[in-house]
Chain A
Amino acid sequence: GDSVTQMEGPVTLSEEAFLTINCTYTATGYPSLFWYVQYPGEGLQLLLKATKADDKGSNKGFEATYRKETTSFHLEKGSVQVSDSAVYFCARSGGSNYKLTFGKGTLLTVNP
């Protein structure tokens, strides 16, 4: 079945460090790919998305490129801030019912 595998955390970085969170997905069909962010005590927010191969999603300094050849959608940010501390979820949608399949989440903590 459909699945998403993302880098296990927790990840702890210092402010202004470079961030990469790896994500790979099963290549069934033509999925859309997403990164969601969950701040402490809140629900999930869409961070960025990509709908086809080679698309780059970007938002708030975060970027991810839809790589069909490696079935990957890695999240990157050049300089993290304390306010980026959150749980990040990679997800794919696909099929006639548009179901979302999530990775297990990666906890990011950014220290001043």
Chain B
Amino acid sequence: NAGVTQTPKFQVLKTGQSMTLQCAQDMNHNSMYWYRQDPGMGLRLIYYSASEGTTDKGEVPNGYNVSRLNKREFSLRLESAAPSQTSVYFCVTPGQNIVGYTFGSGTRLTVV
């Protein structure tokens, strides 16, 4: 089944630790996005990739890095986690006809 696979689903980090959130899609679309969801803030774009080999900052990129490894995979890295990065993270890609987006199941990250 076509979709977006995101790992891990849950993670607890200590302040200063690093981690990478993985995302893989089989929608065969060029674009991929990382969002974070916080109560009362909606979903905010962290980084996006319009095609393999390109990445651009979104609304809230500070404290994050990304890698577009190939057309399928787009990873998000926290080099030194901070409590302000406690959030739910979603990887997203447009559908085959653009109108309709497919979301990963989300990663609930807690930084203590």
Report yes or no: B99 in contact with A43, Cβ–Cβ below 8 A.
Answer: no
Report yes or no: B33 in contact with A100, Cβ–Cβ below 8 A.
Answer: yes
With A51-B99, A89-B42, A97-B31 in contact, is A44–B50 under 8 Å at CB?
A: no
Complex CA–CA separation, A60 to B31 (angstroms): 29
Other-chain residue from B42, B50, B90, B101 in contact with A96 (beta carbon distance below 8 A): B50
Report yes or no: B33 in contact with A43, Cβ–Cβ below 8 A.
Answer: no
With A97-B48, A98-B94, A99-B33 in contact, is A43–B43 under 8 Å at CB?
A: no
Taking CB atoms and an 8 Å cut-off, the chain A residues in 34-71 that contact chain B are: 34, 43-44, 46, 49, 51
Taking CB atoms and an 8 Å cut-off, the chain B residues in 6-57 that contact chain A are: 31, 33, 35, 40-45, 48, 50, 56
Would you give the 0/1 interface string for B74-112, flagging 1 where the beta carbon is closer than 8 Å to chain A? 000000000000000010101000111101111000000
Complex CA–CA separation, A57 to B106 (angstroms): 26
Residues of the B chain whose Cβ atoms lie less than 8 Å from the Cβ of A22: none
Complex CA–CA separation, A75 to B3 (angstroms): 27
Binds B, one of A13-21, A77-85, A101-109: A101-109
Total cross-chain contacts (CB, 8 A): 50
The residue of chain A having its C-beta at the shortest distance from the C-beta of B54 within the complex is: A97
Residues of the A chain whose Cβ atoms lie less than 8 Å from the Cβ of B106: 43
Complex CA–CA separation, A44 to B40 (angstroms): 15
Complex CA–CA separation, A44 to B90 (angstroms): 9
Complex CA–CA separation, A96 to B92 (angstroms): 16
Complex CA–CA separation, A46 to B50 (angstroms): 22
With A43-B90, A89-B42, A89-B43 in contact, is A100–B31 under 8 Å at CB?
A: no
List the 5 closest A-B pairs by CB distance, nearest first.
Answer: A104-B42, A102-B42, A102-B43, A97-B50, A98-B94
Complex A-B: 26 CB contacts under 8 Å: A32-B98, A32-B99, A43-B90, A43-B103, A43-B105, A44-B43, A44-B103, A46-B101, A89-B42, A93-B94, A93-B98, A93-B101, A98-B31, A98-B94, A99-B33, A99-B45, A99-B58, A100-B33, A100-B43, A100-B92, A101-B45, A102-B35, A104-B40, A104-B42, A105-B40, A105-B42
